[in-house]
């Protein structure tokens, strides 16, 4: 085999393995068996890949303010479902329903968001609906 071809194939295999390793297992990170709802004020919006994030200030049962890291689908998928970059803004008071992290209890995968006007946006993939 020619040296340049061997180098090309080696690099190609490395890139594929890095890309495959970059994605995570949903089941390993989130508890699908115990969905929860949180309510609070949006303190930061992160509308970019790989997942849209809203950081939400929530008051816990002891009266402490806790920042939750809530994560949705990719921006492209959410736009197809009616979300826009400015749909949820800093200062909005929203209710989020989703799956909480197994080990980090202040991280949530968004299933639905109720906006201040009462409208509901979904962040569910087709695969989620098929499995449930």
Q: Find out whether 115 and 87 touch, Cβ atoms under 8 Å.
A: yes
- C-alpha span between 110 and 104 (Å, rounded): 15
Within a domain: residue 18?
no
**Which CA distances in Å does 121 have to 17, 23, 26?**
35, 25, 21
Within a domain: residue 3?
no
- C-alpha span between 105 and 17 (Å, rounded): 30
Within a domain: residue 115?
yes
Q: Is 60 exceeded by the pLDDT of residue 58? A: yes
Top-confidence residue, 123 or 54? 54
> What integer pLDDT is reported at residue 104 of this predicted model?
80
Within a domain: residue 20?
no
Domain carrying residue 93: 25-131
Within a domain: residue 16?
no
Within a domain: residue 12?
no
What digits encode the pLDDT tens for the residues 69-103?
999 999 999 898 888 999 999 999 999 999 999 88
Within a domain: residue 42?
yes
Number of compact structural domains in the chain: 1
Q: Which residues of 39-48 are buried (b: 16+ CB within 10 A; e: fewer)?
A: ebebeebebe
Q: Is 90 exceeded by the pLDDT of residue 52? A: yes
Any idea what the CATH number is for the domain that residue 110 is in?
A: 2.40.50.140
Within a domain: residue 52?
yes
Q: What are phi and psi of 126, to 5 degrees?
A: -60, -40
């Amino acid at each position: 085999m020619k040296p340049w071809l061997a180098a090309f194939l080696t690099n190609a295999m490395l890139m594929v393995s890095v890309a495959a390793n970059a994605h995570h297992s949903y089941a390993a990170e989130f508890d699908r068996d115990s969905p929860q709802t949180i309510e609070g004020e949006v303190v930061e919006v992160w509308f970019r890949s790989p997942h849209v994030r809203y950081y939400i200030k929530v008051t816990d049962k002891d009266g402490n303010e806790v920042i939750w890291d809530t994560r949705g689908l990719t921006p492209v998928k959410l736009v197809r479902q009616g979300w826009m970059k400015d749909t949820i803004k800093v200062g909005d008071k929203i209710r989020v329903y989703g799956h909480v992290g197994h080990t980090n209890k202040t991280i949530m995968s968004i299933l639905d968001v109720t906006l201040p006007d009462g409208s509901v946006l979904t962040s569910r993939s087709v695969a989620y609906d098929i499995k449930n």
